[in-house]
Structure 1
Amino acid sequence: MIVVLGGGPAGRMASLRLATAGKKVTLVEPRGKSRGIGGQCLHFGCMPVCALNDVARIIGQARRFYEHGMTDAVPALRFSNVMDETLAVQQKIAGILDHETVSAGVDVVYGKEGRVDGPQVFIGDEPVDTEAAIIATGSRPNIPDVPGITLPGVYTPHTLWDLRELPEKFTIIGGSVMAAEFAYIFQTFGSEVTVLSRSGFLKNLDKHLRAIALKELAGVDIREGAEVTGIAGTSRVTGVRYSAAGADASVEAGAVLLAAGLVPNSGMVTGIDKGPDGEIVVNDRMQTSVPGIYACGDVAGAPFLTPVARHEGIVAADNILGKERHMDYSRIPQAIYLAHDLAFCGSGGEGSASLALPGPAGPGTYWSVPYGDTGLAKVFADPASGEITGMCAAGPTGGVVAGYLAFLMQRHISVHDFEEFIEVHPSTDGVNGLAKYASELFKRHNPP
């Protein structure tokens, strides 16, 4: 028997892979069946953010139609209904995942904690004999150690779904993707949003994408270099205290969201090597320091991305099955979901050239033309060989474009290969046209 601890993207994909290969698999999911499998992505991250972002984008688009005099009103938000309906859809998806997993032959054990002590695996308090085991216990929100952090009205992405009234003043602690996405959602819903970022806000994002993000978050009060020192309030949160540039300051808040990142959920694992943040140390075959014990997904550390977790689960499963497979992190597409998909993969290495143009008008951006924000296309490439080393795409289909181009970049695609590319029109994908232009430019300056 193979035991998999955790029913999130990594554990579930590993279980499916092993079961369809004929292995007896037991998947241990500590949350009860009423909550269901699906992990952080379904219950606290990607899917609920998509749910709220869909509503926010519709409201934002409707607001533009109203401003142009094409409609009579902007839809009024029923916030509690949005949260309730989000949960209902999550439960439906969890049921589908459960059916798919069980139908593949996986034995799913709900409501019991799994743990590992060196080579020994436990389900609840019972030790079990295993051929191999996979630790895929995910991650949990990083909670800063500051006074008042446990006050009512302070939420994490795991508890935000208890919120049923839209706060008039909403403060987000954090400066990365999660903070940006929730800032866009709540400012569009109508909250007065303040972001307290300990360092630079979206500091690692490409400068062109960051400029678009800041434009789409123009209504958000973003305060950089803000070190949170405490949460104000007695029976409920009333504000956040922080220091910036050597001075103390504060901001009022009816609700606070802690979006300060994730930490590996590895407290139930002992006798196995871990890193400084509790991440389980693995090699590129997802093997831990103990033979026969594998780890994948968020519990193995950054980048804390669902597609990476899924792929790590497949790599772990294949190695258990005797099919040597290695994890490659060199081309991982990512996206931030604001009014547009702000997607990217790779970057310009030494000697690379970059070309950038506004995204084309098309479905989803036609009415963005008057505002000058139809998105972006950007390509990094080697002028000598034409090989694409990175890209950015902002627009309604930016995430899709980044996913496919990342796959092609792994196969060393060149801008010259796009000479034969025929796109669908109309489309908001400007990367293909930019690659064609780059090909012409490089040939002009580097003739064969």
Structure 2
Amino acid sequence: MIVVLGGGPAGRIASIRLASAGKKVTLVEPRGKERGIGGQCLHFGCMPVCALNDVARIAGTTRRFYERGMIDTLPAFRFRTVMDEMLAVQQKIAGILDEETRQAGVNVVYGKAGRVDERQVFIGDEPVDCEAAIIATGSRPNIPSIPGVSLKGVFTPHTLWDLRELPGKIAIIGGSVMAAEFAYIFQEFGSSVVVLARSGFLKNLDPHLRAVAIKELSGVDIQEGTEVKGIAGTDRVTGVRYRRTGEEREIPADAVLLAAGLIPNSGMVTGIGKGTDGAILTNDRMQTSIPGIYACGDVAGAPFLTPVARHEGVVAADNILGKERHMDYSRIPQAIYLAHELAFCGGGGEGIASLALPGPAGPGTYWSVPYGDTGLAKIFAEPATGKIAGICAAGPAGGTIAGYLAFLMQRQVTVHDFEEFLEVHPSTDGIYGIAKYTSEIFRKRNAP
């Protein structure tokens, strides 16, 4: 038997792959069946952000139509109903995932916590013998150690779904992707939003892409270089105290969202090598320091992305099956979901040229032309060879574009290969156009 701890993207995909190969597999999911499998992605991350972002974009689009006199009234969104309907859809998806997993031959055990002590695996308090085990217990919110963090009205991405009323004023503590996505959602829903970033806001993002993000968050008060001193309130939140540029300040808030990132959920694992952040250390076969024990997904550390977790699950499963497979982290596409999908993969460096242009008008961006925010297309490439080193794409389908371009970059595609590319029109994908233009520039530059 093979035991898989955790029913998120990594554990579920690994268990299905193993069971489909004829292995007896038990998948242990500590949450009850009423919540279901699906992990961070379905219950607290990707899918809830997707759900709320859909509504937020409709709110933003209709407001623009109203401002230009194209519609007479603005719709009133029912926040409580949005949250209830989102939960209903989550439960439906969890049911589908459960059925799919069981049909593959996996035995799913709900409501019991798995544990690993060196080579010994436990389901609840009961030790079990197994051929191999996969630890895929995911991640949990990073909760800063600041006074007032336990007050009512303070939320994390794992508890935000208990919010029943739209806050008039919300403070978001954090400066990364998570903070940006929730800031956009609450901005469009009509809340007054303040983001308190400890250092720079989206500081590692490409400057062109960051400029798009800042424009799309124009209604958010972004405070960089802040040191949060405490959350004010007696029974519940009333504000946040922080220091910035040597000055103590306090802002009022009806709610606070802690969006300070994720940390590996590895507290139930002992006797196995871990990093300083608790991430279980693995090699590129997802093997841990103990033979026969594998780890994959968020519990194995950054980048905390669902597609990476799934692929790590496949790598772990294949190596258990005796099929040598290695994890490649060299080209990982990522996206930030605001009014556009702000996506990227790879980037610049020594000897790399870049070219950036506004995104074309098309489905989803036509009515953005008057506002000058049709998105962005940017490409990084080697002038001598035309080899593509990275891309940025902001638009309605930026994430899809980045996924395909990451795949093509792995296969050494050059900007010159795009000379024969025929696109669908109209489209908001500006990458192929800028690739053709870059090819023309390089050929002229390299001509004798």
TM-score by length of 1: 1.00
Question: How far apart in 1 are the matches of 2:438 and 2:230?
Answer: 51
Question: How far apart in 2 are the matches of 1:241 and 1:135?
Answer: 39
Question: How far apart in 1 are the matches of 2:75 and 2:342?
Answer: 26
Question: How far apart in 1 are the matches of 2:179 and 2:227?
Answer: 15
Which residue of structure 2 lines up, in the alignment, with residue 153 of structure 1?
153
Structure 1 gaps, min length 5: none
SS at match of 2:35: coil
1:447 is displaced (CA, Å) by 2.2
Which residue of structure 1 lines up, in the alignment, with residue 200 of structure 2?
200
Question: How far apart in 2 are the matches of 1:315 and 1:30?
Answer: 24
1:229 is displaced (CA, Å) by 1.1
1:183 is displaced (CA, Å) by 0.2
Which residue of structure 2 lines up, in the alignment, with residue 439 of structure 1?
439
1:305 equivalenced with 2:312 (yes/no): no
Cα-to-partner distance string for 1:104-156 (whole Å, 9 max, x where unaligned): 00000000000000000000011101100000000000001111100000000
Kindly provide the amino acid, as one letter, of the partner of residue 196 in structure 2: L
Which residue of structure 1 lines up, in the alignment, with residue 371 of structure 2?
371
Question: How far apart in 2 are the matches of 1:168 and 1:58?
Answer: 20
Question: How far apart in 1 are the matches of 2:58 and 2:279?
Answer: 39
Kindly provide the amino acid, as one letter, of the partner of residue 216 in structure 1: E
SS at match of 1:405: helix
Question: How far apart in 2 are the matches of 1:37 and 1:420?
Answer: 44
Question: How far apart in 2 are the matches of 1:23 and 1:340?
Answer: 43
Kindly provide the amino acid, as one letter, of the partner of residue 132 in structure 2: A
Question: How far apart in 1 are the matches of 2:290 and 2:79?
Answer: 48
Alignment of 1:299-448 (within 5 A): 299-447=299-447
1:74 is displaced (CA, Å) by 1.4
1:210 is displaced (CA, Å) by 0.3
Q: CA RMSD in A?
A: 0.6
Question: How far apart in 1 are the matches of 2:263 and 2:250?
Answer: 27
Which residue of structure 2 lines up, in the alignment, with residue 98 of structure 1?
98
Cα-to-partner distance string for 1:27-63 (whole Å, 9 max, x where unaligned): 0000000000000000000000000000000110111
Moved more, 66-75 or 379-388: 66-75
Cα-to-partner distance string for 1:396-415 (whole Å, 9 max, x where unaligned): 01000000000000111100
Kindly provide the amino acid, as one letter, of the partner of residue 90 in structure 2: Q
SS at match of 1:407: helix
Kindly provide the amino acid, as one letter, of the partner of residue 253 in structure 1: A
1:176 equivalenced with 2:176 (yes/no): yes
1:244 is displaced (CA, Å) by 1.3
Which residue of structure 1 lines up, in the alignment, with residue 137 of structure 2?
137
Question: How far apart in 1 are the matches of 2:36 and 2:188?
Answer: 30
Which residue of structure 2 lines up, in the alignment, with residue 70 of structure 1?
70
Which residue of structure 2 lines up, in the alignment, with residue 50 of structure 1?
50
Question: How far apart in 2 are the matches of 1:413 and 1:229?
Answer: 50
SS at match of 1:441: helix
Cα-to-partner distance string for 1:217-274 (whole Å, 9 max, x where unaligned): 0010000011111110001000011111222111110000000000000000000000
Question: How far apart in 2 are the matches of 1:443 and 1:86?
Answer: 51
Kindly provide the amino acid, as one letter, of the partner of residue 255 in structure 1: A
Question: How far apart in 2 are the matches of 1:74 and 1:413?
Answer: 47
Question: How far apart in 2 are the matches of 1:227 and 1:6?
Answer: 35
SS at match of 2:37: coil
Which residue of structure 1 lines up, in the alignment, with residue 38 of structure 2?
38
SS at match of 1:195: strand
1:235 equivalenced with 2:235 (yes/no): yes
Cα-to-partner distance string for 1:348-374 (whole Å, 9 max, x where unaligned): 121000001000000000000000000
Question: How far apart in 1 are the matches of 2:183 and 2:166?
Answer: 13
Question: How far apart in 2 are the matches of 1:145 and 1:117?
Answer: 29
1:346 is displaced (CA, Å) by 0.3
Question: How far apart in 1 are the matches of 2:348 and 2:146?
Answer: 39
Question: How far apart in 2 are the matches of 1:72 and 1:81?
Answer: 24
Kindly provide the amino acid, as one letter, of the partner of residue 351 in structure 2: G
Cα-to-partner distance string for 1:317-374 (whole Å, 9 max, x where unaligned): 0000011011000000000000000000000121000001000000000000000000
Which residue of structure 2 lines up, in the alignment, with residue 209 of structure 1?
209
Question: How far apart in 1 are the matches of 2:227 and 2:25?
Answer: 46
Question: How far apart in 1 are the matches of 2:72 and 2:131?
Answer: 65
Question: How far apart in 2 are the matches of 1:242 and 1:11?
Answer: 40
Question: How far apart in 1 are the matches of 2:144 and 2:166?
Answer: 24
Question: How far apart in 2 are the matches of 1:53 and 1:335?
Answer: 13
Question: How far apart in 2 are the matches of 1:77 and 1:342?
Answer: 25
Question: How far apart in 2 are the matches of 1:130 and 1:246?
Answer: 57
Kindly provide the amino acid, as one letter, of the partner of residue 7 in structure 1: G
Cα-to-partner distance string for 1:389-428 (whole Å, 9 max, x where unaligned): 0000000010000000000001111000001100110000
SS at match of 2:179: helix
SS at match of 1:71: coil
Question: How far apart in 2 are the matches of 1:21 and 1:423?
Answer: 40
SS at match of 2:263: strand
1:290 equivalenced with 2:285 (yes/no): no
Kindly provide the amino acid, as one letter, of the partner of residue 429 in structure 1: D
Moved more, 67-76 or 260-269: 67-76
Cα-to-partner distance string for 1:143-177 (whole Å, 9 max, x where unaligned): 01111100000000000000011000000000000
TM-score by length of 2: 1.00
Alignment of 1:196-275 (within 5 A): 196-275=196-275
Question: How far apart in 2 are the matches of 1:391 and 1:229?
Answer: 39
